[in-house]
Structure 1
Amino acid sequence: MAETLRLMAVHAHPDDESSKGAASTARYAAEGVEVLVVSCTGGERGDVLNPRLQGDARMLRDMAEYRRREMAEAARILGVQHRWLGYVDSGLPEGDPLPPLPAGCFALTPLDLEVNALVHLVREFRPHVMTTYDESGGYPHPDHIRCHEVSRAAFDAAADPQRYPAAGEAWRTSKLYYHANFSRKRMTAFHEALLAQGKPSPYAEWIARVEEADADPAAPKRVELEVTTRVECADYFDVRDRALLAHATQIDPDGFFFGVPNDVQRELWPTEDYHLAVSHVPTELPEDDLFAGLRTRGPA
């Protein structure tokens, strides 16, 4: 393509961009692709999840500002642009029965308003590729599920000049992907490698829960997306980790995300994985590039 390639990654909260697809977005940015991360919410209702910072009342009081600063630093590390969609974190409801979601939150805002906001950004940035979550949200957080709904609807609506005419000139994004990196196969590979080295595995409890659900006919089953696209990005795992650590209120430096040394990850699983949900350009599966079918032709 004669023009610069553009990638839009749509996420629910600040920190999601660093835990899902960060190494591949950092790789593409380093290669000259324009990458825009969109955060649907400000993460205002997040707790302080880093044990080293818990007990600091200022962080809970000023969570929105902390998360804005953390997001700015993560974007700088990844080398990407960033925009806020402007909605308020819904929080993760807990309890039995689950409490109602707070009024005015992202998951309860009329979908049409949110799609309109994202269509504005799509038509302004004009991405060739978008990434987001599948129908399950990756996990059942109401903001992740709503992020999928908004992203999927905006992907289609932005291409239709009859919809949201005030949002700018219509633009058809060529490809839409869902993140598929937290697969059972990948987790099991890391789990078994660590056990073989005599090291504790951060995935033991997760795998046990999945196996228990599989053995119970009445238990809901985890959706496993077909991996269609594997992006080689092991050279950017360290960049990914630095971006994650920039979200200091949310990420435990001794926690789950850092349980597998990067040298083990590079050997066993040097890619970040995606599911191609929609393509308006011919492409052959499996792919090794989110821009497969676009580098030698214009967008559809």
Structure 2
Amino acid sequence: MRLLAVHAHPDDESSKGAATTARYAAEGVEVLVVTCTGGERGDILNPSFGPGPDGVEAMRELRRGEMAAAARALGVRQQWLGFVDSGLPQGDPLPPLPEGCFGLVPLEEAAAPLVELVREFRPHVITTYDPSGGYPHPDHVMCHRVAFEAFHAAGDPDRYRREGGSAPWSPLKLYYNHDFSMNRIRTLHEAMQGAGLESPFGDWVESRSAREIPEREVTTRVDAAAFYPQRDAALVAHATQIDPDGFFFAIPRDLEVDVWPYEEYELAESRVPTTLPEDDLFAGVRGGAGGAA
């Protein structure tokens, strides 16, 4: 079995589906994380890190080192797609995206290297973000578009032809990550309150904007609590982004395991029969044929 997890920036693989990938890797599944950009325009989000490097090149190298450490913690392989971080535009009106960034690359140009990677790696399952990107970062939205395109195009011999390229391959299932669903946030928030602890999610859960977020369908829950330590080690590896005393570590792990011992997904498309709900991303795939065109 082979699993391809497509993410926008280094650190996304550690905050979205990380325990799942660690579990499958430990079980012998070939897991490859694809990172679309180098995270060059990311801010330093860990106040204990200190000042960051000067310039996008230095930040790229720093985050490459963090990504390598995170991949080791999860026990997965990782590969860069090679595009440049778009940054998160802020202001009203929003400023234009930087020239040459991932968010401005034409879709077929952005998808071409991922299509070739799919044909080379031959994953049975691909995971990525829903069409909203999970939140409106241009790279997350583009990540969805690129992964969606690759899922549909990689098996078509008439598309993305490249001399000397790999043979077409059709992945069998496409999933969207649901790690930041409001259901999960509310469940953890209420568990913290029930335990007499201060929840880090209070303002978020009670905000009008949170109440208006539509809940996407959850089709698949993967039991991954045994691999939360690997997930946490991968998060900490991204020292520029993750405060070990901050948001991601505010929930006691024993409480989290009791009330939310899984990671959730939405089955977007399947080329094999499966029965919902699922507890395995490879449901309907195991024991079946490959996805060759």
TM-score range, shorter chain: over 0.9
CA contact (8 A) 2:182 2:210 kept: no
| Partner deviation per Cα, 1:10-49 (whole Å, 9 max, x = no partner) | 0000000000000000000000000000000000000111
**What does residue 240 of structure 2 align with?**
249
* 1:11/1:39 contact within 8 Å kept: yes
Is the contact made by 2:52 and 2:59 (CA closer than 8 Å) also made in structure 1?
no
In structure 2, relative to structure 1, the CA distance for the partners of 1:32 and 1:98 (3 Å cut) is same
Residues 99-136 of structure 1 show CA distances to partners (whole Å, capped at 9, x for unaligned) of 11000000001111111111010000000000000000
| Alignment partner of 1:9 is 2:8 | no
Deviation, 1:54, is: 2.9
Q: 2:197 aligns with which of 178, 196, 199?
A: 199
Deviation at 1:196, TM superposition (A): 1.7
Q: CA deviation at 1:223?
A: 3.3
Equivalent AA in structure 2 for residue 8 of structure 1: L
Amino acid at match of 1:281: V
Among 96, 103, 118, the alignment partner of 2:99 is 103
- Cα distance in 1 between the residues matched to 2:150 and 2:29: 22
- Structure 1 counterpart of 2:48: 52
Distance 1:104 1:238 in 2: 37
Among 51, 64, 69, which residue is 2:65 paired with? Answer: 69
* Amino acid corresponding to residue 94 of structure 1 in structure 2: Q
**Normalising to structure 2: TM-score of the pair?**
0.95
Counterpart selection for 1:283 from 240, 263, 274: 274
Which letter maps to 2:91?
Answer: G
Matching residue of 2:182: 184
Give me the whole-angstrom Cα distance separating, in 2, the residues matched to 1:44 and 1:226.
33
Q: Among residues 139, 142, 152, which one is paired with 1:143 in the alignment?
A: 139
Q: How many residues align?
A: 289
- Structure 1 unpaired stretches of 5+: 215-220
Against the structure 1 CA distance between its residues 231 and 213, is the aligned structure 2 distance closer, same or farther, given a 3 Å change threshold? closer
**Residue 173 of structure 1 corresponds to which residue in structure 2?**
171
Deviates more, 1:233-242 or 1:185-194: 185-194
Q: What SS does the aligned partner of 2:258 have?
A: helix
Query: Which 4+ residue blocks in structure 1 deviate beyond 4 angstroms?
Result: 56-61
- Percent of aligned pairs sharing the same letter: 61
CA offset digits 1:175-211 (Å, max 9, x no partner): 00000122212111110111122211111121122x3
More divergent stretch after superposition (262-271 vs 11-20): 262-271
Counterpart for residue 217 of structure 1: none
Q: SS of 1:165's equivalent?
A: coil
Q: Which one-letter code corresponds to 1:234 in the other structure?
A: A
CA distance in 2, matches of 1:59, 1:198: 44
Cα RMSD (Å) of the superposition? 1.4
What is aligned with 1:162?
158
In structure 1, how many angstroms separate the alpha carbons of the residues matched to 2:174 and 2:210? 30
Q: What one-letter code is carried by the residue in structure 1 that aligns with 2:226?
A: D
Q: Deviations over 1:206-259 (max 9, x none)?
A: 1122x3564xxxxxx423211100000100001100000000001111111111
Q: For each residue in 1:27-83, what CA deviation from the matched residue of structure 2 results, as whole angstroms up to 9, or x when unmatched?
A: 000000000000000000001111001334558772111100000010011010110
1:121 is aligned to 117
Q: Distance in 2 between matches of 1:99 and 1:227?
A: 35
Q: CA deviation at 1:168?
A: 2.2
Distance in 1 between the 2:120 and 2:52 partners?
Answer: 40
Q: Which has the higher mean CA deviation after the structures are superposed, 123-132 or 198-207?
A: 198-207
- Judge conservation of contact 2:40–2:57 (CA < 8 Å) in 1: no
1:48–1:59: 8 Å Cα contact kept in structure 2? Answer: no
Task: Name stretches of at least 5 consecutive residues in structure 2 with no aligned partner.
Answer: none
Contact 1:186 1:269 in 2 (8 A): yes
- 1:30 partner letter: A
